[in-house]
Amino acid sequence: MYSVVLAAVGALAIGAVVTAHTPAPTVVSDTAQRPSPDEAFFREVAMNSLAEIAHGRLAVANASRDEVKRFGQRMIDDHTRSNAGLQPPRPQDRSIVPTELDEKHRAMQRSLEKVKGEQFDRLYLQHVMQMHAQAIERLQHEARTAKSAQARDWAKMTLPMLQEHLKMATAINAGLATSAAK
Q: Which domains does the chain have, with CATH numbers?
A: 36-181 (1.20.1260.10)
End-to-end CA distance of the chain: 101
pLDDT digits (tens, 9 = 90+) for 16-25: 444 444 444 4
pTM of the model: 0.76
The two most distant CA atoms of the chain are separated, in Å, by 102
Q: With contact defined as beta carbons under 8 Å apart, do 75 and 52 qualify? A: yes
Tens-place pLDDT, residues 37-82:
778 888 888 899 999 999 999 999 999 999 999 999 999 999 999 8
* Backbone Cα Rg of the chain: 26
Phi, then psi, of 91 in degrees rounded to 5: -55, -35
